[in-house]
Amino acid sequence: MESMKQSNYNGFLWGAATSAFQIEGQVETDMTDWERRGKFRADGKDPRVGDAADHWRRWEEDFRLLRDLGVNSYRFSVEWARIEPEPGIYNQSALDQYGRMIDRLLEYGITPMVTLHHFTHPCWFQERSPWHHTRAIECYLRFVNKLSRCLLDRVPLVITLNEPLVWTLAAYGAGKFPPGEKNLRHLMTAFTNMLRAHREAYDLIKHNHPDTQVGIAHNFIAFKRAPSGIEMDRKVKRLIHHFYNSMILEAFRDNRVKVSFPLMLSYDAPIALDDKIDFWGVNYYYRLHVRFRLSIRQPFELLSLVRSSGEGKSDLGWEIYSRGLKKVCRWLASTGKPIYITENGIAAQDDSLRLRFIASHLEMLDEILREGHPVKGYYHWSLLDNYEWLEGTKARFGLYHVDFDNGYGRTLKPSGGFYRDHIKKHSVYLPATE
């Protein structure tokens, strides 16, 4: 049995994940501009990114921590605003440092997975080319072309977009991210444009580097109808599941972005994606229950019923539901594409809760692999405590504790030690791809 279990992990990528804006610091973006204008102030909160986790200055130290953790892959993003601070003008020193980072990972035997877009943009972007205009595609492709020529020749795994639907919901639905609109038509147009940008970036990268695998990281949520017994709860749950989890998958399959939500949204746009995606990245955190509401403006309510699973909740109130990870991977297996679990983690001051979270989700991963689903890697979110968008630095996701008040010192948490030991027990190492 042990040899069979070990064989499930042959060539498996064990990793940790981060995003540039959330850990690097020392950069001006559309988000820092948004912060200065007081746009994040809500519910008594006023999160400030500051130097984030000071990673831009401490990356060499942090990469040694990666090596000590025993991972054989690392997912990180490059900061567009740092690389292209003005339209068409590139910061060579930033490109050089990202190049050194990639080279150091390869030296350590750690396969880089690089995300090209993780929520943030240069300060000039929203005024000149917001995503609901097609100009955004041209700007993004100019950036990707630069990266393809300077950095991506030694990166085997590339994510063009991180959670494009989450970002458009925040930027055009809730209006909490720049450009801060509340316009469902613009939301869907922006989402469609982001998928078109992926298609063009895919062709560009594959032309220059045919062996590079190119995918998207999508946030999946396990939805369940509220335990009220009302049939409308079931119907609304199906609509939300389709919009949030299935719409993007069907767009690649059917060459259409299509959704219909009675009284709220009807959208149908052709898009020539032609299944141009090599793998799906799964960002999975929690489950939500769906309840019908008798309301034209918002005919549903999303609930975190934390007693339902019996696994507890995160500090952000998210229900822990480890079986949802297996459900998501089963859905995705029907696409025929390899799957990477590109984010899975928990905001928890109590590290014993994080340890239990990791253990339960890795148990699900073992079941997923025994069932034969094509999961090729697992990346815990996050390597470090970081800046968590609307929450600031109080929501702690890291395997390493960061002392934000006293010089940004890093300390491995017990949950990090547990993950390190699990990797050591289940790894069959392959050299990093150059």
Residue 426 and residue 423: Cα distance in Å, rounded? 5
Give me the helix-helix angle, 184-208 and 135-150, nearest 10°. Answer: 30
What's the mean pLDDT in 135-161? 98
pTM of the model: 0.96
Query: Of 133, 25, 124, 14, whose CA–CA distance to 66 is shortest?
Result: 14
- Report the pLDDT value the prediction gives residue 1, as an integer from 0 to 100: 42
* Chain segment 254-268, per-residue pLDDT in tens: 999 999 988 789 999
Lowest-confidence pick of 15-19, 191-195, 267-271, 389-393: 389-393
Residue 296 buriedness (CB in 10 A; 0-12 / 13-18 / 19+): exposed
- Report the pLDDT value the prediction gives residue 5, as an integer from 0 to 100: 55
SS3 at position 286: strand
What's the mean per-residue pLDDT of the chain? 94
More confident residue, 226 or 137: 137
- Report the pLDDT value the prediction gives residue 431, as an integer from 0 to 100: 44
Which CATH superfamily is 2-221+328-426 part of? Glycosidases (3.20.20.80)
- Report the pLDDT value the prediction gives residue 6, as an integer from 0 to 100: 59
Tell whether the model's pLDDT for residue 42 goes beyond 90.
Answer: no
Just list the catalytic residues: 163
- Report the pLDDT value the prediction gives residue 296, as an integer from 0 to 100: 67
| H-helix or E-strand spanning residue 411 | strand 410-412
| Residue ranges of domains in the chain | 2-221+328-426
Residues 322, 361 contacting (CB under 8 angstroms):
yes
Residue 324 and residue 301: Cα distance in Å, rounded? 20
Q: What share of the chain is helix, strand, coil (3-state, %, to 5)?
A: 40, 20, 35
The distance from CA 267 to its chain's CA centroid, rounded to whole angstroms, is: 25
Residue 34 and residue 2: Cα distance in Å, rounded? 52
- Residue 298 pLDDT level (bands cut at 50, 70, 90): confident
Measured at the CA of 181, the angle between CA 175 and CA 183, to 5 degrees, comes to 110
Strand partners, 256: 270
Alpha helices in 302-431 (DSSP H): 323-333, 351-370, 414-426
Q: In the block, which residue shows the tokens 């934000």?
A: 404
Residues 99, 151 contacting (CB under 8 angstroms):
yes
| H-helix or E-strand spanning residue 338 | none
Residues 224, 290 contacting (CB under 8 angstroms):
yes
Residue 89 and residue 101: Cα distance in Å, rounded? 22
Tokens of 400: 């390493």
Residues 401, 414 contacting (CB under 8 angstroms):
no
Tally Cβ neighbours within 10 Å of residue 387. 24
What's the mean pLDDT in 225-236? 86
- Report the pLDDT value the prediction gives residue 95, as an integer from 0 to 100: 98
DSSP state of 239: H
- Report the pLDDT value the prediction gives residue 168, as an integer from 0 to 100: 98
Angstrom CA distances, 398 to 16, 18, 25, 356, 403, stand at 10, 9, 17, 14, 11
DSSP state of 152: G
How many residues does this entry show for the chain?
Answer: 434
